[in-house]
Amino acid sequence: MEYINIKKNDKGEYNIYIIPPYIDLSKTSYPYGLIVTGIAFDNFDEAKELGTNVNHFMECMINDAKENVHDYLSMDKSKNEIKEILTEGSWTYPYYDYSEEAKSMICYLRFVPQNMDLEAAGFSHGVAILNRHFKNENDTEVKEIRDGIDRLMTQSYEAVLNTILNTEHKKKHNNELKI
């Protein structure tokens, strides 16, 4: 499954977007997905290279979800308990970097899925998202954006977890029939 889209913008540059699974993005504030890094690429191949890495990051998120579900099922956790545990927390975190242009520190957001081995996915601090900078993390717009992305990603991740849990339930049921 592809979790990214590379789209040419009005300036002829290429942007990479994260496509959350099981979400109709046309009904969200992010109709193309969550823009990655906020950097546009002049060259499609450069965008594709980073896009491939981001897609791998998303695949790792799904694979880690499968492993986490297996672990919690082995502890006899219910579907609802598993979903509650694995969707707790925020999907984004504010980070700071020095801006030469602004001659000061700027705040931006990173996509940091919970319960995921970020190092193994190749992005130890998550993925920088959106093409916006803020004065600081207390900016009211930051909270609104984070809340919106949290709702979007929780909805997506719950659908992923439901798919995994339903598959595991079918496997267990089929194994019981064999006995």
Name the pLDDT band for 147 (thresholds 50, 70, 90): very high
pLDDT at 175: 61
**CA distance linking residue 40 with residue 99, whole number of Å:** 17
Query: Over 70: is that where the pLDDT of 178 sits?
Result: no
CB 129, CB 36: distance < 8 Å: yes
pTM of the predicted protein model: 0.88
Q: Over the stretch 96-112, which tens digit does the pLDDT of each residue have?
A: 998 888 788 889 999 99
Tokens of 38: 């906020």
Look at residues 150, 152, 163 and name the one whose alpha carbon lies nearest to residue 79: 163
In order of 41, 50, 51, 88, 177, the CA distances from 37 in angstroms are 11, 10, 11, 25, 49
Q: Per the structure block, which two tokens stand in for 143?
A: 């909270």
Confidence of residue 168 (pLDDT cuts 50, 70, 90): confident
